Amino acid sequence: MVGSVGNAPSSWMVIESNLGTFAVGGDDEAVTDLLLPHEVHDGLRGAPASVIVRDAARQLDEYLSGERRRFEVSIRPRGTEFQQAVWSSLDGIDFGSTRSYAWVADVIGRPRGARAVGQALGRNPTPIIRPCHRVLSSSGLGGYGGGSALKRSLLAIEGVSIEDAATSYGPHRERA
């Protein structure tokens, strides 16, 4: 399970959507985990949810419904210094925009580290909130912990066509 390193979240909330079942985890201070549909298990249903976790779940539901473009929630993902740098760089990718693994590597000062960036993105404990789905490979979609269909669906919510992005792709693409 992504994000299960260290202390487990004390609070969970499960969200049902047309893209599947998601779960937000955290505590009274911050969100620490967002589980994608293939990671959610029945043990999380009915668990107590803190105010912060409930708010993050509401924002996630709004995003998945196309009603929210930006998350306004405190997060505290657990990871190495390198992973934290990669995940923090995602905050600079706006709704409806995409970037490449190489762009992220450049932003964090590791221009030859695109492969390591991809590995760090695969361990992002707060996907969607920290939008790793907006990072594409130079030849197209690239990987995603939730699978390519979910990545395409999340990009579609934002009005991004992967076919257009793949044919006109450079270091980054802004939606017109």
Annotated catalytic residues are: 132
Cα separation, 11 vs 57, whole angstroms: 11
Residues 98/89/61/6 CA torsion (nearest 10 deg): 140
**Greatest distance between any 2 Cα atoms in the chain:** 46
